[in-house]
């Protein structure tokens, strides 16, 4: 509606309110006097009230999206307008012949006269849009709370969806209407109600559900055979990962059996604010998110070191786009090269170094011992030594749960990297912190993107063993754990996350197949290929001799570092460096076993035929 028309409408309502209230009050007198439709007093009322309506910003709103906040704004304008009218009329005629009843009723009646046309106009537009767009998708909304109500408004604005009903487990809501849309029953009745309403899409509008409840709701949605979506969580909106009103597929992380860790933002920002940091491996999954989290939480400068030029270019572009206020210094090079590290430290003089660069693929490293030692152990020693020499205040090593009682090359090299940092911490002023966590969802080379790609092409999905389990966390959660641990302040501490119960990889694969709208028993085969080199059925988070204890954060535990012989550890690192220069694999393997006494390599798995579970006919020949 044109703004001039809105102004004329509002002034007409002010005139109507003022004249009608006078006629109503004076009509109660034995001989009602005639009320003039126009006078100097009426003109002053229009001028005073019109000025107030303009000043409170009433005409910056849009009738199409009028809502309760607009009504409150109108009520405020009416009250302030009454004050302006009283002042104007008092100066003009000392409020002569202005009944007190008129002054009392004026704000309430004017609010109704100004507000109701706006709400009726919006309702008419919403109804017209729903009636005229016959191609709109009929949707059934699960959840009649605040998220459901907000979703309904967003759906009506787009015009692409038509809400046919709500489902909610609150008995008091059954039979009621939310913005004209009925609440038809309980969520568990979705399989019965969806066909009755001819719904073509289900939307889960319950962002506060925990993982167990979400799994139950997803299972109910799957029974209908209809596609389903969910609304973003508030954290995704605040972090910019989703847009308001956006519908997204249910992600596998929504179904994990553990509540996400809530960080102590105050502690993180207090420690990180205004600092310069260096992130090695900053182009990788963890490193890139760590750069983002540092920038988001107050770092003034982020130096990104990576040997992959494309990954480095990508993270640099992202940082300059999303965090223009943070200085980003990209450095291309190998963190195992002392000259590169010295250059990076001299270029940025960081107060903290996050060492995220590492090789992490278990089966690959079983056959690439030299590179595993060179990158995971020797590069860590190089970065740590140069950080100590440069006077860096904090050095954070990103480690893994596989370093606990290691059975593979990855675990052994990361455990030795921990020991190297512990050895350097004995005499250095630099504070060393080690952070261990389990598998990270959607990180490069992890099982989730592998399963997703296998499902996309129709399968089969390959699982190593029916009983294999792993601990999982999301990439943002892993990086927040790193920052939280670094902010706790202990000297040479080993931190790990209380990650709850491990996740069955078989169930993970089945759930991802279902989330893709397919059935494990019918559409996508699951093939059990046997454990790969260096893999074990179950990972452990804690070592018996490290005596974990709680910290100030309820989900982070601190281990007491085991006693080591500094000279022996540093001597082992020197021997590994010499063997690496000579590419002597036998010497590398022997030194690694001697350096990490608890390292007990798994015997190579025997070749076995793949076991196929749930193989449909069109997959039989492929498997």
Q: How far is CA 355 from CA 216, 272, 282, 308, 310, in A?
A: 40, 16, 9, 16, 19
Rounded mean pLDDT of 285-312? 93
Do both 47 and 192 map to the same domain?
no
First-to-final CA distance of the chain: 64
Closest CA to 270 of 444, 487, 69: 487
Do both 71 and 162 map to the same domain?
no
Do both 497 and 569 map to the same domain?
yes
How high is the pLDDT of residue 56?
A: 79
Tell me the pTM: 0.66
In this predicted structure, the answer to whether residue 207 has a pLDDT above a threshold of 90 is no
How high is the pLDDT of residue 620?
A: 35
How high is the pLDDT of residue 532?
A: 75
Q: How far is CA 427 from CA 145, 347, 392, 397, 433, in A?
A: 58, 25, 14, 18, 15
Q: How does the average pLDDT of the chain come out, rounded?
A: 82
258 in a structural domain:
no
337 in a structural domain:
yes
Confidence of residue 605 (pLDDT cuts 50, 70, 90): low
Pairing state between β 228-230 and 327-332: unpaired
Do both 208 and 180 map to the same domain?
yes
Percentage of the chain lying above the pLDDT 90 cut: 25
- For residue 162, give every residue at least 6 positions away whose Cβ sits within 8 Å of its Cβ, in sequence order, or none: 130, 133, 136, 137, 138, 139, 155
Q: Are 151 and 231 in contact (CB under 8 A)?
A: yes
623 in a structural domain:
no
How high is the pLDDT of residue 156?
A: 76
Q: How far apart are CA 130 and CA 463, in angstroms?
A: 47
Do both 94 and 159 map to the same domain?
no
Per DSSP, the three-state class of 305 is strand
How high is the pLDDT of residue 517?
A: 72
Q: How far apart are CA 231 and CA 235, in angstroms?
A: 12
In this predicted structure, the answer to whether residue 272 has a pLDDT above a threshold of 60 is yes
Closest CA to 414 of 425, 430, 398: 398
Radius of gyration of the chain (CA): 33
Secondary-structure percent of the chain, ordered helix, strand, coil, rounded to 5: 50, 15, 35
> Residue 394: exposed, middle, or buried by beta-carbon count in 10 A (0-12, 13-18, 19+)?
buried
Q: Which of 79, 102, 129 is the last residue of a domain?
A: 129
Do both 275 and 225 map to the same domain?
no
Rounded mean pLDDT of 530-552? 75
Rounded mean pLDDT of 401-423? 91
- For residue 27, give every residue at least 6 positions away whose Cβ sits within 8 Å of its Cβ, in sequence order, or none: none
Q: Which of 220, 250, 280 is the last residue of a domain?
A: 250
Total domains in the fold of the chain: 3
Q: Which of 129, 144, 160 is the last residue of a domain?
A: 129
256 in a structural domain:
no
Q: How far apart are CA 288 and CA 573, in angstroms?
A: 29
Range among 38-52, 73-87, 364-378, 429-443 with highest mean pLDDT value: 364-378
Do both 329 and 464 map to the same domain?
yes
Q: How far apart are CA 385 and CA 425, in angstroms?
A: 10
Distance of CA 597 to the CA centre of its chain: 40
Do both 160 and 227 map to the same domain?
yes
In this predicted structure, the answer to whether residue 396 has a pLDDT above a threshold of 80 is yes
Q: Which domain holds residue 216?
A: 133-250
Q: How far apart are CA 184 and CA 139, in angstroms?
A: 13
Rounded mean pLDDT of 37-48? 86
605 in a structural domain:
no
Do both 488 and 385 map to the same domain?
yes
CATH at 368: 3.40.50.720
How high is the pLDDT of residue 337?
A: 94
How high is the pLDDT of residue 615?
A: 40
How high is the pLDDT of residue 129?
A: 54
Does 254 or 316 have the greater pLDDT score? 316
77 in a structural domain:
yes
Do both 553 and 587 map to the same domain?
yes
614 in a structural domain:
no
Range among 38-42, 230-234, 354-358, 400-404 with highest mean pLDDT value: 354-358
Do both 246 and 390 map to the same domain?
no
Closest CA to 432 of 398, 476, 466: 398
Do both 352 and 364 map to the same domain?
yes
How high is the pLDDT of residue 122?
A: 67
Judged by phi (left if over 0) then psi (alpha if -120 to 50, else beta), residue 357 lies in beta
609 in a structural domain:
no
Pairing state between β 201-204 and 556-559: unpaired
């Amino acid at each position: 509606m044109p703004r001039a028309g809105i102004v004329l409408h509002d002034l007409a309502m002010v005139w109507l309110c003022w004249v009608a209230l006078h006629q109503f009050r004076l009509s109660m007198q034995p001989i009602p006097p005639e009320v003039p439709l126009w006078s100097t007093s009426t003109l002053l009322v229009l001028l005073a009230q019109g000025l107030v309506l303009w000043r409170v910003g009433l005409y910056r709103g849009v009738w199409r999206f009028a809502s309760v906040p607009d009504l409150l704004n109108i009520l405020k304008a009416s009250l302030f307008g009454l004050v302006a009218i009283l002042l104007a009329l008092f100066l003009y005629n000392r409020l002569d012949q202005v009944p007190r009843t008129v002054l009392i009723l004026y704000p309430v009646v004017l609010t109704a006269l100004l507000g109701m046309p706006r709400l009726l106009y919006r309702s008419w537009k919403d109804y017209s849009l729903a009636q005229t767009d016959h191609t709109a998708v009929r949707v059934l909304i699960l959840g009649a709370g605040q998220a459901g109500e907000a979703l309904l408004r967003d759906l009506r604005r787009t015009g692409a969806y038509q809400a046919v009903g709500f489902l909610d487990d609150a008995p008091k809501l059954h039979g009621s209407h939310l913005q004209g849309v009925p609440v038809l029953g309980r969520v568990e009745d979705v399989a019965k109600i969806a066909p009755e309403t001819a719904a073509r899409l289900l939307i889960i509008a319950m962002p506060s559900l925990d993982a167990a409840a979400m799994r139950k709701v997803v299972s109910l949605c799957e029974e209908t055979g209809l596609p389903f979506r969910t609304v973003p969580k508030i954290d995704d909106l605040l972090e910019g990962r989703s847009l308001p009103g956006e519908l997204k597929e249910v992600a596998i992380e929504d179904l994990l059996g553990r509540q996400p860790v809530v960080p102590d933002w105050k502690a993180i920002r207090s420690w990180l604010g205004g600092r310069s940091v260096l992130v090695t491996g900053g182009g990788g999954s963890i490193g890139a998110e760590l750069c983002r989290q540092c920038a988001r939480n107050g770092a003034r400068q982020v130096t990104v070191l990576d040997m992959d030029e494309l990954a480095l270019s990508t993270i640099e572009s992202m940082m300059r786009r999303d965090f223009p206020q943070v200085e980003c210094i990209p450095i291309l090079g190998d963190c195992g090269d002392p000259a590169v590290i010295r250059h990076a430290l001299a270029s940025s003089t960081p107060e903290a170094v996050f060492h995220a660069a590492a090789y992490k693929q278990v089966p690959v490293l079983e056959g690439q011992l030299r590179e595993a030692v060179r990158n995971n152990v020797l590069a860590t020693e190089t970065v740590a030594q140069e950080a100590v020499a440069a006077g860096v205040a904090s050095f954070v090593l990103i480690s893994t749960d596989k370093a606990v009682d290691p059975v593979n090359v990855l675990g052994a090299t990361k455990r030795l990297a921990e020991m190297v940092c512990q050895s350097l911490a004995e005499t250095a002023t630099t504070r060393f912190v080690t952070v261990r966590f389990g598998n990270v969802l959607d990180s490069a080379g992890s099982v989730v993107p592998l399963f997703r790609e296998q499902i996309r092409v129709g399968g089969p999905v390959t699982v190593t063993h029916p009983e294999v389990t792993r601990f999982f966390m999301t990439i943002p959660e892993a990086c927040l754990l790193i920052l939280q641990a670094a902010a706790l302040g202990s000297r040479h501490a080993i931190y790990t996350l209380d990650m709850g119960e491990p996740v069955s990889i078989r169930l993970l694969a089945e759930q991802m197949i279902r989330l893709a709208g397919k059935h494990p028993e019918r559409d996508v085969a699951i093939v059990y290929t046997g454990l790969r080199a260096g893999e074990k059925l179950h990972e452990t988070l804690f070592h018996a001799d490290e005596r974990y204890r709680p910290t100030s954060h309820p989900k982070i535990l601190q281990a007491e570092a085991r006693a080591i012989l500094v000279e022996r550890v540093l001597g082992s690192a020197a021997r590994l460096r010499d063997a690496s220069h000579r590419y002597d694999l036998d010497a590398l393997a022997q030194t690694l076993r001697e350096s990490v006494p608890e390292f007990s390599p798994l015997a190579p798995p025997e070749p076995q035929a793949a076991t196929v579970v749930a193989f449909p006919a069109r997959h039989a020949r492929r498997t």
